[in-house]
Structure 1
Amino acid sequence: MQNNSSNRQKPRIAIIGGGVAGATAAVHLGEQGLDVVLMERGPSLVNGPPICHLHAGGNLYREISQQQCLDLLRQSVDTIRLYRHTVNKRPTVIATPITDPEHPQALLPRLEAVKQAYQAMVQQDACNAVLGAPDEYYQLYERADLERLRLSSQPQEPACMDDWLIPFAKHVDLDLIQYPVIAVQEYGWSVFRLAATAMLTLQQLPHCQLLTNSTLVDAQMRDGQWHLTYHDEDSQPHTLVVDYLVNACGYETGKLDDLTKNPQYRMAEFKAAYIAKWPGEDSLWPEVIFHGQRGTPQGMAQLTPYADGVFQLHGMTKAITLFDDGLTRSPLHSSQPILPDVLQMKLTNGWPDAVVEARTRHAIAHIGKFMPDYCRAYPDGKPLFGAQQIPGEDETLRAADVSFSGHNYARIEIVKGSSALEAARKLIAHWQLADHSTLASIEQQHPISLSHAADRVEQFAIELAQARGYPVELAKIIGC
C-alpha cells in the first residue's frame, strides 16, 4: 500500500469523477493554485451523457421556469469564456409542429426576458458578448421569409442568421410547422474538445494530479481528514489522505454518498443520442429543434450538426432517447438510484449492434417526418449515452450545481454541463479555499486554460474521439 499524503500547509482536495463537473472543478481549483487530485476510473476525462449544446437560456425546454433559463444563460456565458475553443458557433432553430398543442408565440416573453438579461450582462462586461450581439439574440421567421430563403444559395461562410436558415428552409416541409419559426443564438458544444481542453490544462497545472484508470473503493473520515483507498488499472491498492472530498461521480453520486454516510435523495435518467451521416449534404446547418410533448411518440426531435454531413440525433420518445423505466429514484435504503438491468448492461458492456441500428433508424425517421430528404441518412457510429443524475424530486430541474454535507464533503450534481464552473466557485467560497479577489475576471483566473491554441485542442479532441470509437467529425470545429 502506498500513502500519497505528506505534511502540507495548503489543503488537499480530492475530486472523484472526471466528467464535466469533476474536470471543471479540478481546472478551476487548480488554476487558483490549490492542491488537487482528480480521480477518474476511465482512461480519459468527460465521458458521460451526450452533450451537444450549452442550453444558454434554456430555450429548448418549454417546461422549465424562467429563473432556470436566466441561470443557464449566465452559466453558459461563463462556460464559453472558460472553454472558448469548445463551442460550435451556429444558431438553433426552434420549430413547432402543427400537431403540437402549444403555439410558438408562447415562447416569446421568455426569449425577450433572456435577451434583456444578456443585454445587461454585456453592458456590465463586454467580455460577456460570447453569444453574438444582444440585439440579434433571437429572430422570428414567418413562412414568407422561409419561402424567400428557399430560393437562395448559402454562402461558404454564413454571415447572418438568414444565411444559416437557408438549408432549413430548403429541406423542411413548411406545411408541417407553425409560424413564426424562431432562430436563437444557442451554440453547439463539443464534448470531445471540452475533454481535450480540460486534460491539456490539468497536465500543465503543477498542483494537480490526474489519476485515470483509478477506482475509489473506500473513504473513511479519521482525525479530521479523508483517508481514501483506490485501485489503479492493475488493481493494485493505494491510499490517499486529503482534507476535502468532492463527489463528482455523475449518475453514481449516490454510491459515494452511501460509502461516506452522507445520504441524499435523487433521481437518475438514462438517455442516448445517435449518430447519422446524411450523404451528399454539405450545407452548414443550424441546430434544429422540432418541439413536441416529452415521452409521447411526438416527442421533441433534435438535429445537431457536426462536420461533413454528420449529425447527432435526439428524439424525446421511448423508442429513441428515452427508455422504459429510464427515470429511477433513490430507494429507501440507499442514495443511489438503481437502473434496470438492461440499461445498466448498456453502461457497462455497450450496446448490441441490432439495437443501435434500430434506434438510430427510429431517430432518422423521427427527423424525416419534417425533413423528408433526411430519410436518406444512415447510422454512422455507436450512440452517445449515459445516465444523468437529478438532485431532489423535480424531474424538470436543469440548473443545479453543488451541495454540502458532513465534514468537508461536497457533491457536485449538475444536470447541464454549463453549471459546472458555478459549482466549482461555490466549493472555494463555502470552504474558503482561496483568498483571491472575486473581482478577477474568468480570463485572469484561468491563464492556463485560455492559453491553448484552437488547432491543438481540436487535434487532441480528434484523438480522443478516435480512441473512444466515435466519428472524428464530432470533434472538429464548425461554425463561424
Structure 2
Amino acid sequence: MLLKEFTHEPKSVAIIGGGVAGATAAVHLAELGLKVTLIERGEGLVNGPPICHLHAGGNLYREISTQQCIELLKQSIDTVRLYPHSLNVRPTVIAVPQSDAGNPDDLLPRLEIIKQCYQEFVETDSANKVLGEPGDYYQLFSKQQLEALANKIQPSHPNTIEHWLIPFAKHSDLDALKYPVIAVQEYGWSVFRLASSADLVLEQLPNSQTLTQTEVYALERAGEQWVVGCRRQDDSRFEVHADYLINACGYETGMIDDLVSEHRTRLVEFKAAYVTHWDCNEQWPEVIFHGPRGTEQGMAQLTPYPNGVFQLHGMTKDITLFNNGLVGSTPESSQPKLPSELESKIKQGWLESERIERTHKAIKHMSQFIPQYQTATELGKPLFGAQQIPGEDDTLRAADVTFAGDNYARVEIVKGSSALEAARKIVEQWALYEYDGQSIEVLHPQSMMLSAQAVETRAEQMAVAREYPIELAQYFGQ
C-alpha cells in the first residue's frame, strides 16, 4: 500500500525525458498511484539510441566485469516481466574469429556463473524463467557439428537451438572461426514494442500525463516543490509544479544538471546501427563476431527481423563508432559537447551520402564472416543516438540512478534493461511506496492487461511515423 493514504493530493513527480529511462519511470510510478507528468521534447516516446537485445548477462562485452554481467541479467529479467511483449525470442550466437586475439574457452567460466545465477533466480521465483530453461542457457558447437547442421533444412518454425543455427552454419565462413562457437539464450528486444507498451499504459492511467513536443527551458525550487518551465513548439509557455524531479534526459542529462546547478561527471558516446535487407529465406539468430573495439576488426553484429530485414553494428570508427564520438563533461558544465556534425545528425538527420556509405561499410564488414551478405542492400535511415555513461569509465554497462538533494534524481542508465531498477531505487529513496514483497506483475496491473496485438499494432504505427521499416516493430522468433 502507499505510505501516504492520499487523504490529500498524491505526491507529484515530473520526469524530463521520454526515452527508455523516463518512460519506464513514468509507467512504474504511475502504476503505483503517484501523479506523474512526463515531458518529452520529441514527437513520441523511446526514440533514442538503437536497442536490439537485452544484454541478459552481458555476454557480448568481454571487457566488463562479471558483477556487471550478473546485474544486467537480473535487470533484464525484471524488464522482460514488465514489458513481456517487447521480446523477440531467438538465440544469440557468439563467435570468435581467427583474426581475434581472444579464445572462446575464456568465455566459458563467465557463462557458467551467469547460468548458475539464472538458475538461482528461477528457483527463487518461477516468474523469473523468461529466458528459457536455465539448464539450456548456453550451448557449445564444434566445427563438425556446424558442418553437419549446414546440410540440414531449417523448419519453418525453428524451436531448438540447433534449428536456429542452421542458417549460421550454412552461410558463415566456418574456417574463419575459432571453436567452440557459443549459442546463448540472449533474446532480441524491440525498441518499438517497448515504446508502444509504455505509450499504451500511460494513456490509460488518469494520474499520468505525457507532454510531447515540449521542451524544458527553466527549473527552480519553490519551497519544497519544483517549478518546471515548459515551452511548446509554437513557443507557448506554461509551468508544471511537482514535489519531485527526475532527470531522464539520456545523453542530455547534463543540461538539466546545469539548470539546477548539480554538477556531475559523465561521458557521452554517439553510435549508429544500420538497417539492411538480405534475400535469405531462413530465420537467423542474432550473431556476434567478436573483435577489438575501435579497430578495423571491431565486433560485427547481425540482428534479425522478419522478411529479410537485418540491423548491423560494426564496432569500427567507420561504422558504428565515430571519430571524436566519445566526449566528456568539463568542470564548467555537466553536459559533454558532441562535435557539431554529430549533433547535426541527432537534430537534423543524416546526409544521404554518409548514410549509404556507412551502411555499405557495415555490409562489407559483415561479409568477411558471412560472404553472401555482400549482396545485401541498405534499407533506410540508421538507428542512432548518443549514450550517456556516468563517471569516466567507458566500459561501464550496468548503471541506474544517482540523487542530489532530497527531491532530485538522475536516471543514468547505459543499457535499457537498467531502467526499472532505477525507478525502483527512486521509489525506495524517496519512500514513495512500500513494496511489501509484491511482484512486478501485481505492481503493474495496467501493463499486464496489454495484448500482444495491441502492442504490435501501435509499434508498427511508431515505426512508420519514424520512417523505419515496419519489420523492426514486428514479432520475430518463437
Structure-1-length-normalised TM-score: 0.98
Number of the residue aligned with 1:338? 337
CA distance in 1, matches of 2:115, 2:223: 51
Number of the residue aligned with 2:288? 289
1:434 Cα deviation from its structure 2 partner: 1.5
Return structure 1 stretches of 4+ with deviation > 2 angstroms: none
Number of the residue aligned with 2:411? 412
What are the superposed Cα offsets for residues 335-384 of structure 1, whole Å, 9 maximum, x if unpaired? 00000111111111100000000000000000000111000000001000
Which of 450, 460, 464 is matched with 2:458 structurally? 460
Q: Is the 8 Å Cα contact of residues 262 and 406 (structure 1) preserved in structure 2?
A: no
What are the superposed Cα offsets for residues 202-243 of structure 1, whole Å, 9 maximum, x if unpaired? 011111111111110100012121111101232100011111
Which of 444, 447, 465 is matched with 2:445 structurally? 447
CA distance in 2, matches of 1:268, 1:433: 31
Q: Is the 8 Å Cα contact of residues 92 and 289 (structure 1) preserved in structure 2?
A: yes
Number of the residue aligned with 2:324? 325
CA distance in 2, matches of 1:356, 1:272: 10
CA distance in 2, matches of 1:127, 1:24: 20
Number of the residue aligned with 2:3? none
Amino acid at match of 1:456: A
Number of the residue aligned with 2:118? 118
CA distance in 2, matches of 1:35, 1:350: 35
1:400 Cα deviation from its structure 2 partner: 0.3
CA distance in 1, matches of 2:9, 2:275: 49
1:332 Cα deviation from its structure 2 partner: 1.9
Number of the residue aligned with 1:392? 391
CA distance in 2, matches of 1:447, 1:479: 26
Amino acid at match of 1:420: A
1:406 Cα deviation from its structure 2 partner: 2.2
Please say if 1:146 is aligned against 2:146: yes
CA distance in 2, matches of 1:102, 1:213: 47
Moved more, 8-17 or 181-190: 8-17
1:9 Cα deviation from its structure 2 partner: 2.8
Q: Is the 8 Å Cα contact of residues 75 and 418 (structure 1) preserved in structure 2?
A: yes
Aligned residue pair count: 472
Amino acid at match of 2:220: Q
Number of the residue aligned with 2:68? 68
In structure 2, the residue corresponding to 1:168 is in which secondary structure?
Answer: helix
Structure 2, unmatched stretches of 5+, are 1-6
In structure 1, the residue corresponding to 2:64 is in which secondary structure?
Answer: coil
Number of the residue aligned with 2:4? none
In structure 2, the residue corresponding to 1:333 is in which secondary structure?
Answer: coil
Number of the residue aligned with 1:470? 468
Please say if 1:263 is aligned against 2:271: no
Q: Is the 8 Å Cα contact of residues 253 and 336 (structure 1) preserved in structure 2?
A: yes
In structure 2, the residue corresponding to 1:24 is in which secondary structure?
Answer: helix
What are the superposed Cα offsets for residues 383-407 of structure 1, whole Å, 9 maximum, x if unpaired? 0000000000110000000000024
Number of the residue aligned with 1:3? none
In structure 1, the residue corresponding to 2:354 is in which secondary structure?
Answer: helix
TM-aligned CA distance change 1:436 to 1:128, over 3 Å: closer
What are the superposed Cα offsets for residues 410-446 of structure 1, whole Å, 9 maximum, x if unpaired? 0001000000000000010000011342x11111111
TM-aligned CA distance change 1:9 to 1:436, over 3 Å: farther
CA distance in 1, matches of 2:76, 2:223: 40
What are the superposed Cα offsets for residues 184-206 of structure 1, whole Å, 9 maximum, x if unpaired? 00000000000000000001111
CA distance in 1, matches of 2:382, 2:76: 25
Structure 1, unmatched stretches of 5+, are 1-6
Q: Is the 8 Å Cα contact of residues 296 and 318 (structure 1) preserved in structure 2?
A: yes
Please say if 1:24 is aligned against 2:24: yes
In structure 2, the residue corresponding to 1:120 is in which secondary structure?
Answer: helix
Please say if 1:377 is aligned against 2:376: yes
Amino acid at match of 1:283: E
Structure-2-length-normalised TM-score: 0.98
- After superposition, the CA RMSD in angstroms is 0.9
Give the % identical residues: 58
CA distance in 1, matches of 2:435, 2:185: 33
In structure 1, the residue corresponding to 2:445 is in which secondary structure?
Answer: coil
In structure 2, the residue corresponding to 1:85 is in which secondary structure?
Answer: helix
Amino acid at match of 2:306: A
Matches within 5 A, 1:267-278: 267-278=267-278
